[in-house]
Amino acid sequence: MEAIVVQELRKRYGEVQALDGVSFAVREGEVFGLLGPNGAGKSTTVRVLVTLTHADGGTAAVAGHDVRREPNAVRRSIGYVPQDSGVDQYGTGRENLMLQGRVQGMSGRALRARTEELLQLVGISEAADRVVKTYSGGMRRRLDIALGLVHRPRVLFLDEPTTGLDPEARVGMWAEVSRLAEAESLTILLTTHYLEEADQLADRLAIVSQGKIVVEGTPAELKANLRGDAVHIELADGKLDEARRVLAAIGAEPETQLGERTLVVRVADGGAALPGILGELDAAGVGVATVGVSRPSLNDVYLYFTGRDFTSEDRGE
């Protein structure tokens, strides 16, 4: 069964085509990631799916309900944790959960029991009666997730769940999300611009770039499609044409170019091939400023399918 089905979603904001024919499906019980740099269209996709905005074209269904024709049914079936925290800073953790439960139509013993269950589940029971303003960033984010789970949704949307957290808190949140998915029998769709986060959390993922899905699969499948090692060669003198000729002659045809000075080639064994590559470039009078070798990563997958470096694009360079 598929918990989310998205077909040819389109959305424009003025001159910006935020979504340009986005299609994917999420199976029940899996953690599915939308991975892309800032501005790729991830959050817009989520806003359509949680009924906060309408697409200009295409269709989408969540938990068996059409997002346009049955928005109320969709809202009853989902939990949504946006990028910006929605907690009351001056209420306690317990008060926030009780209030959210009442908004969802819960009350009495059932609400109190669910509140206690969630405080334990997300690991903030000892701070339940402290004002949220005193919580750490990681604790607030765990409370955000608990708020999205009060009414036992079938599908949970996590929009950039670890943005703003320090590295240690981020790793802790990864463990928390994985545990929650199993404990609550949830389908989770998360958006992220952290490559490692997608690699760690997602059963499957779709890479989003400029409003389009460029490739989809498990992290392992996507990396396995890129055979061999990537060799990044930054030229000292900008002799790109000569460097391409030399590399092609030794069977290391450049896979892509980054900026004005860097070529990326893929070879079976980067460590073994590197001395020969550097020797041939030197013999041809092509200066090399820096060189690096890496095993296939999701950044390489992004680079291969888009021709752009993920980290640079995420920074808007």
Q: What is the pLDDT of residue 310?
A: 86
Q: What is the pLDDT of residue 252?
A: 86
The answer to whether the CB of 4 falls within 8 A of the CB of 49 is yes
- Span 227-295: which CATH code? 3.30.70.270
Q: What is the pLDDT of residue 224?
A: 86
Estimate the crossing angle of helix 93-103 against helix 108-121, to 10 degrees: 130
Q: What is the pLDDT of residue 172?
A: 84
Q: What is the pLDDT of residue 317?
A: 59
Q: What is the domain partition of the chain in residue ranges?
A: 2-223, 227-295
Q: What is the pLDDT of residue 168?
A: 83
Q: Determine phi and psi for 231, rounding to 5 degrees.
A: -115, 115
Virtual torsion, Cα 312, 84, 164, 166, nearest 10 deg:
-140
Please list the ranges in the chain whose pLDDT falls under 50.
none
* List of residues 6+ apart from 167 with CB closer than 8 A: none
| pTM for the whole structure | 0.83
Q: What is the pLDDT of residue 210?
A: 93
Distance CA 131, CA 118 (A): 17
Q: What is the pLDDT of residue 254?
A: 84
Correct CATH for 2-223 of 3.40.50.740, 3.90.180.10, 3.40.50.300, 3.40.1190.20: 3.40.50.300
Distance CA 85, CA 133 (A): 12
Asked if the domains at 2-223 and 227-295 fall in one CATH topology, the answer is: no
